[in-house]
Amino acid sequence: MKHLSFVLFLTLLSCTQETKRMDDYTVQGIDISHHQQDIDWRLVAAQEIDFAFVKATEGSEHQDTMFHKFWSEIKEAGIKRGAYHFFSPFSPAADQAKHFINTVKLQKGDLPPVLDAEITGKLQNKTLRKNTLTWLQAIEKHYGVKPIIYTNQKFYLSHFTGEEFDGYPIWIARYNSQKNPPFIPFGRQWTFWQYGDCGHLEGIKGCVDFNVFRGERQQFENLLYQSAYRDSLDAQNKPL
């Protein structure tokens, strides 16, 4: 994933070698943001891409300029869609959660929301963990589904081990030429793996991140958002 303050840095590091698709995984996907610009989603869908995560928000104010366009086009193409929030250590976590909620309206069949956590902003680990939990819990309360945590393997091992994070699905970025999958200690398993950042697909200009889901298609379907649950919560909370 690419975000505002690290675009140039990541551009210099990215695409040193083309990412080849890992066809031995049943469920395949990509993640995108405004850096991809116009995408022919029907062409993408024809290449057996099952899901796409798209950047929605960052911090407490920024909204990705392509989010709403991509959000509707992904669904129209029949690809399962998910929205992610890039977490900023420089603004209140509750405000960031509210910003995401105001931007992203989930429908039945969408993927759970994602928290993209990659930088500490020099926060102490205890504070960073507390702030990210604030976001995760606020999102879960609103949508009625556990969000996914996205980060790289080193960041996860440094900041997100421990029972308070054990219930959240994990999406790990780990690139290596041997295609060794991520390792998560204490018996935990990753749910999504971003294994490369320079994949190529017809319908997308330039590089795109490639991802896979750990499991079979029915397990993937079981992860999808069920709006009926959220609707029942809303009905319970509706004023008489």
Q: Which residues contact 24 (CB under 8 A, 6 or more apart)?
A: none
Into how many domains does the chain fold?
1
Express each pLDDT in 47-72 by its tens digit: 999 999 999 999 999 999 999 999 99
- Note the pTM of the prediction, 2 decimals: 0.89
In-domain check, residue 9: no
Question: Once rounded to an integer, what is the mean pLDDT over residues 227-234?
Answer: 52
The enclosing H or E element of 206 equals none
Would you report the helix, strand and coil content of the chain in percent, each value rounded to 5?
35, 20, 45
CATH of the domain at 199: 3.20.20.80
Express each pLDDT in 115-130 by its tens digit: 999 999 999 999 999 9
Question: Once rounded to an integer, what is the mean pLDDT over residues 97-124?
Answer: 97
Q: pLDDT: is 231 or 24 the higher one?
A: 24
In-domain check, residue 21: no
Note the pLDDT of residue 177: 85
> Is it the case that residue 16 has pLDDT exceeding 80?
no
DSSP, collapsed to helix, strand or coil, labels residue 138 as: helix
In-domain check, residue 15: no
Lowest mean pLDDT among 18-27, 63-72, 127-136, 219-228: 219-228
In-domain check, residue 19: no
Residue 54 tokens read as: 């798209």
Percent above pLDDT 90 for the chain: 82
Calculate ∠ Cα 122-124-130, nearest 5°: 120
Q: pLDDT: is 178 or 12 the higher one?
A: 178
DSSP 31-77: EE-GGG-SB-HHHHHTTT--EEEEEEEETTTEE-TTHHHHHHHHHHT
Q: Which residues contact 42 (CB under 8 A, 6 or more apart)?
A: 77, 203
In-domain check, residue 89: yes
Note the pLDDT of residue 3: 54
Range of the structural domain that residue 75 is part of: 27-237
Q: Which of 225, 119, 87 is nearest to 169 (CA)?
A: 225
pLDDT band at 186 (very low <50, low <70, confident <90, very high): confident
Question: Once rounded to an integer, what is the mean pLDDT over residues 180-193?
Answer: 93
Lowest mean pLDDT among 91-100, 131-140, 153-162, 226-235: 226-235
The enclosing H or E element of 194 equals strand 192-199
Q: At what angle do helices 93-103 and 125-143 cross, to 10 degrees?
A: 30
Note the pLDDT of residue 217: 97
> Is it the case that residue 41 has pLDDT exceeding 90?
yes
> Is it the case that residue 237 has pLDDT exceeding 60?
no
Where do we find the tokens 């690419």? Answer: 2
In this structure, the strands spanning 51-58 and 62-63 are antiparallel
In-domain check, residue 13: no
Residue 19 tokens read as: 């990412």
Express each pLDDT in 132-177 by its tens digit: 999 999 999 999 999 999 999 999 999 999 999 999 999 999 998 8
In-domain check, residue 95: yes
Q: Buried b vs exposed e over 104-118: b needs ≥16 C-beta within 10 Å?
A: bebeeebbbbbbbbe
List 48, 58, 73, 118, catalytic entry: 118
pLDDT band at 2 (very low <50, low <70, confident <90, very high): low
From CA 31, how far away is CA 27, in angstroms rounded? 14
Asked about 118 being catalytic, the answer comes back as: yes
> Is it the case that residue 5 has pLDDT exceeding 80?
no
In-domain check, residue 69: yes
